[in-house]
């Protein structure tokens, strides 16, 4: 089992309130949550109305598949016109019993 996490730091364009920001964030999170082998949630910057950090985890049986799904997540976020990507970080889960998990 292989687990890759993504920390996606975004600026929400044209957001003038927390309510407007949450609408954009919920749209992204709900879409990603619907993807096979993906879980997503807002994990930081809850109180800021033009910034958000979304955490995404991708789980799969082989590294290549997990990386392909993570690439798709990144392309989806970069293609959204309502956010500006500030930074995306990837991190593999620690090894357990000599295998990457």
Which CATH number fits the domain that encloses residue 47? 3.30.70.1120
- This prediction has a pTM of 0.86
Assigned domain for 66 exists: yes
Which residue range forms the structural domain that includes residue 65? 2-94
Assigned domain for 101 exists: no
Assigned domain for 53 exists: yes
Q: Tell me how far apart the alpha carbons of residues 28 and 75 are, in angstroms, rounded to a whole number.
A: 12
Assigned domain for 82 exists: yes
Split at pLDDT 50, 70, 90, the class of 88 is very high
1: helix, strand or coil: coil
Assigned domain for 12 exists: yes
**96 or 30: which carries more pLDDT confidence?**
30
Q: In this structure, are residues 81 and 23 in contact, taking their beta carbons and an 8 Å threshold?
A: no
Q: Tell me how far apart the alpha carbons of residues 89 and 101 are, in angstroms, rounded to a whole number.
A: 18
Split at pLDDT 50, 70, 90, the class of 57 is very high
Query: What are the tokens at 41?
Result: 């949630």
Assigned domain for 27 exists: yes
**What average pLDDT does range 4-20 have in this prediction?**
92
Strand partners of residue 87: 9
Q: How many domains is the chain built from?
A: 1
Split at pLDDT 50, 70, 90, the class of 94 is low
């Amino acid at each position: 089992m292989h687990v890759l996490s993504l920390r996606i730091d975004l600026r929400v364009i044209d957001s003038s309130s927390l309510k407007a920001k949450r609408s954009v964030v919920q749209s992204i999170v709900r879409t990603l949550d619907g993807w096979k082998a993906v879980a997503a949630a807002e994990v930081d910057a809850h109180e800021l109305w033009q910034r958000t950090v979304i955490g995404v985890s991708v789980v799969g049986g082989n590294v290549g598949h997990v990386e392909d799904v993570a690439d798709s997540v990144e392309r989806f976020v970069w293609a959204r016109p309502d956010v500006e990507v500030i930074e995306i970080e990837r991190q593999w889960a620690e090894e357990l019993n000599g295998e990457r998990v």
